[in-house]
Chains A and B, each alone.
Chain A
Amino acid sequence: MLEAGKKNPEVVALCADLVGSLKMDAFIKEFPERFFQIGIAEANMIGIAAGLTIGGKVPFTGTFANFSTGRVYDQIRQSVAYSDKNVKICASHAGLTLGEDGATHQILEDIGLMKMLPGMTVINTCDYNQTKAATIAIAEHHGPVYLRFGRPVIPVFTDPDQKFEIGKAWMVNEGTDVTIIATGHMVWKAIEAGEKLAELGIDAEIINIHTIKPLDEKAVLKSVKKTGCVVTCEEHNKYGGLGESVARLLSTELPTPQEFVAVNDSFGESGTPDQLMTKYGLDSINIVEAAQKVIKRANK
């Protein structure tokens, strides 16, 4: 935020009583007049953000993913998306990673909600560096964006100086036997799975789709053409997420066996994030098993 704010004086930030969780402190210290503390009133926050764009501002709203989407869906739909407003909706603690707080604070439906809105760009980043690069990139992009990211305590493995291109897949690892398409926290799990698969003699191609909409169709088709089977991985309901976007593409362009590593139409619950990832089938072992299964289905 601080860097985006330094680059563009029109960037402003809004928060609904979660400044610490959203790591907005540095921005607020540097640009106090460009920060708006809204209080616990997310609907008002989205409306104010839409209004700020009319005066040429580039507002970033910040709260947890559930309160950034489901709680304010109609405000985003009418005042932001339908009104073509340049608002950046930044949502932390997406998926299961609010752990102990339980299902009221976890959301597994937000990608679906946001990608169904015409004109909305939907991004799900995988670590601190990618989130930082994406934050700077979306400030320069004109149009509404939903940026979904996770908790801070996960491995940081992407390049600190990466250039983030909206809508462009990142090839993590080239391979020939199976395509693993992962987003968000599941990218790290996919890398772990790739190592296990290599031990089993399976050469997995791992692609990070950080921009779920617009989807990098070229990258998906190119890889799947080569491997003939695909596993999609996301910390989201299997309904409405990245997996469905990939399936829609493949069913029309290149019908291909696909397995979904995603939450099976369920709410979350309390537990540590790691325990939840295991219970809801989002571990690297689940990706390994899905890869083996899909390879079999593809008769390879």
Chain B
Amino acid sequence: MKHKINELEDIAAQVRRDIVRMVHACQSGHPGGSLGCADFMTALYFEIMNHSTDFKMDGKGEDLFFLSNGHISPVFYSVLARSGYFDVSELATFRKLNSRLQGHPTTHEGLPGIRIASGSLGQGMSVAIGAAQAKKLNKDHSTVYVLLGDGELQEGQNWEAIMYAPHNKVDNLIASVDYNGQQIDGPTEKVLSLENLQAKFEAFGWHVINSDGNDMDAIVKALHYAKSLTGKGKPVLNLMSTQMGYGVDFMMGSHKWHGVAPNDEQLAAALAQLSSTLKDY
């Protein structure tokens, strides 16, 4: 372990503060999914991945991460900044004119840590597969990670990719689904039911594990386990239960905070629930 679990929890708390402050400052963005994935993203960047903050696009010899559900950019930017890809003060520019921190992540502004644009949903899994296959050609034994939203699985391109990866034994790939059951218009079960995701992925030939994405100890263990399953001929799917808005009681478990910014009062109420562990930017 690079960090103790309580240290990772402290980092995640700071990441959550960053998220609500970023979204509040520009009065736009997506706090719900960002808060829900703060533990996973912290675990990935501070514990699981072998990566260098001296950013190189090709990432040779490093583990790579792709964010397919690009709207949860606040958590991505916070984790990148907190792990040293760029100065945390830049988080204050989120969604503002001339910022490298665009509403949805992009390579176009040269922000270190970003390797593909995302935002239009359903594309990240294909990109991650390509990056994983390039690693195989390069005899690079590191791992490629991708995070997808659960609602995002309604996009058909995902299923092209989900079919392709097992057929081609892309076994250096760990995909995680942010399984919070919410999307903009309401619960996924009402909008367009995902049915039995585990059975679906297994039927396509994936090795599926389940995890609790809001329990740091559990998610760290799950990701270590997922890593132990790589190199065995199958891609790995981490079906990760989370709560949208986790960590801020009035934002939790509802699709209403998918894409709404808190006002001044709500910001204060949210920050009161999250201790500043690494100092605010």
Contacts and interface: CB of A to CB of B under 8 A. Distances in A.
Q: Do A and B come from one complex?
A: yes
Contacts of A34: 137
B164 A57 contact: no
Contact of A82 (B106, B122, B124, B134): B106
Contacts of B164: 38-39, 41, 44, 48
A10 B250 CA distance: 51
B137 A12 contact: yes
B126 A43 contact: yes
Q: Residue among B115, B130, B140, B156 with the most chain A CB within 10 A?
A: B130
B160 A57 contact: no
Main secondary structure of the interface of A (DSSP, over half): helix
Given A39-B163, A43-B122, A48-B130, 9 more contacts: A41-B161, A46-B126, A47-B130, A50-B130, A51-B116, A51-B129, A54-B59, A55-B134, A55-B135
B108 A55 contact: no
A267 B140 CA distance: 47
A75 B116 CA distance: 12
A33 B137 contact: yes
Nearest to A34: B137
A83 B106 contact: yes
A interface, how many residues as a size bin? 20 to 34
B222 interface: no
Nearest to B170: A48
B81 to A, nearest CB: 21
Nearest to A56: B58
A79 B116 contact: yes
Closest 8 pairs between A and B when the two form their complex, measured CB to CB? A51-B130, A47-B126, A55-B134, A41-B160, A44-B160, A48-B130, A51-B131, A51-B127
Contacts of A54: 57-59, 64, 115-116, 127, 130-131, 134
Contacts, number: 121
A79 B116 CA distance: 6
Nearest to B134: A55
A45 B131 CA distance: 12
Contacts of B106: 82-83
A158 interface: no
B137 A55 contact: yes
Interface in A74-105: 74-75, 77-79, 82-85
5 contacts: A39-B160, A41-B157, A54-B57, A54-B127, A55-B135
B139 to A, nearest CB: 11
Given A52-B134, A55-B131, A79 B140 contact: no
Contacts of A59: 130
Contacts of B126: 43-48, 50-51, 75, 79
Interface string B99-134: 000000011100000011111101111111111111
B256 interface: no
A294 interface: no
Q: Which of B108, B123, B131, B135 has the most CB of A within 10 A?
A: B123
Contacts of B137: 12, 33-34, 55, 57
Is the interface on chain B under 10, 10 to 19, 20 to 34, or 35 or more residues?
35 or more
A49 interface: yes
Interface string A1-43: 0000000000010000000000000000000011010110101
A51 B156 CA distance: 18
B60 interface: yes
Contacts of A39: 160, 163-164
B138 interface: yes
A83 B118 CA distance: 9
Contacts of B156: 43
Contacts of B116: 50-51, 54, 79, 83, 85
B130 A78 contact: no
Nearest to B164: A44
Q: Give the most central of A51, A52, A79: most B CB within 10 Å.
A: A51
A251 B40 CA distance: 56
Contact of A44 (B115, B132, B161): B161
A47 to B, nearest CB: 2
Contact of B157 (A36, A75, A77): A75
B107 A84 contact: yes
A237 to B, nearest CB: 25
B163 A56 contact: no
A82 B108 contact: yes
B135 to A, nearest CB: 6
Nearest to B157: A43
Nearest to A48: B130
Contacts of B117: 78-79, 82-83
A43 B159 CA distance: 10
A56 B134 contact: yes
Interface string B250-261: 000000000000
A51 B146 CA distance: 12
A54 B126 CA distance: 13
Nearest to B115: A54
A78 B118 contact: yes
Contacts of A84: 107-108
Contacts of B140: 55
Contacts of A83: 106-108, 116-117
